[in-house]
A and B are shown apart, each in its own frame.
Chain A
Amino acid sequence: MNDTRSPLQTIAIYLGALLILVWSGGPFIWQFSTSFQLDKALTSGSPSLIPAPFTLEHYYNAFIEKQLHRYVWNSLVVSLATTFLCLFVGSLAAFALSRLNVKGRFGILMVILSVSMFPQIALVGPLYLVATNLGLLDTYTALIITYLALGLPLVTWVLFGYFETLPREIDEAARMDGVSVPGLLWHIILPMSLPSLVTTGLLAFITAWNEFLFALAFTSNIDRQTIPVGIANFTNLYYVPWGDIAAASAVVTVPLIVLVLFFQRHIIEGLTQGGIKE
Chain B
Amino acid sequence: MTAAATVSGIGRPRLGKALPSALWALLLLTPAFVSLASVSFYPIINGLYLSLTNTSLITQENEFSGFANYVQLWGDAQFWNAWWHTMWFTAASTILETVIGLGMALILCEAFKGRGLVRAAMLVPWAMPTVVTSKMFGWLFDGQNGIINYILLHAGLIDQKVNWYGSPDTAMTTIIIADVWKTTPFMALLLLTGLQTVPNSLIEAARMDGAKGWITFWYIRLPLLMPTLLIAGLFRALDAFRVFDLVYVLTGGGPADSTETLSTLSYKVLFSTLQFGYGSAVSTAMFVTEGIIALAFCLYLIRQIRRAQ
**Which residues on A are within 8 Å of B, measured CB to CB?**
1-2, 4-5, 9-10, 13-14, 16-17, 20-21, 23-25, 27-28, 30-31, 34, 42-43, 45, 47, 88-90, 92-93, 95-97, 100-102, 108, 112, 115, 117-130, 145-146, 148-150, 152-153, 156, 172, 175-176, 178, 180-182, 185, 206, 209-210, 212-213, 216-217, 227-229, 231-232, 234, 240, 242, 245-246, 249, 252-253, 256-257, 259-261, 264, 267-268, 271-272, 275-276, 278
Contacts and interface: CB of A to CB of B under 8 A. Distances in A.
Interface stretch (B68-76, B136-144, B168-176): B136-144
Given A27-B181, A228-B131, A249-B135, A1 B25 contact: no
Contact of A181 (B18, B38, B112, B242): B18
A210 B188 CA distance: 22
Given A242-B139, A261-B120, A276-B193, 9 more contacts: A21-B118, A30-B147, A100-B21, A121-B286, A178-B14, A181-B21, A227-B129, A232-B131, A257-B128
Contact of A96 (B29, B140, B232): B29
B241 A180 contact: no
A89 B37 CA distance: 14
Interface residues on B, range: 35 or more
B267 A176 contact: no
B124 A121 contact: no
A183 B14 CA distance: 14
Contact of A123 (B39, B117, B120, B128): B39
13 contacts: A13-B107, A14-B112, A17-B115, A28-B125, A92-B29, A92-B31, A100-B24, A100-B25, A119-B290, A124-B270, A227-B129, A232-B249, A246-B136
A27 to B, nearest CB: 6
A31 B136 CA distance: 7
Contact of A43 (B127, B145, B267, B283): B145
B69 to A, nearest CB: 13
B297 to A, nearest CB: 11
Given A93-B29, A181-B18, A245-B135, A23 B185 contact: yes
A249 B14 CA distance: 58
Contacts of B22: 100-101
Given A20-B118, A152-B36, A180 B18 contact: yes
A251 B231 CA distance: 35
Interface string B227-266: 1100110010010011011001100000000000011001
A47 to B, nearest CB: 5
Contacts of A246: 136, 139
Interface string B37-68: 01111111011001000000000000000000
Nearest to B37: A149
Given A95-B28, A120-B244, A209-B129, A268 B194 contact: no
B137 to A, nearest CB: 8
Nearest to A42: B145
A232 B227 CA distance: 38
Contact of A112 (B19, B32, B47, B188): B32
Contacts of B94: none
Contact of A172 (B4, B19, B184): B4
Given A176-B11, A210-B129, A268-B189, A123 B29 contact: no
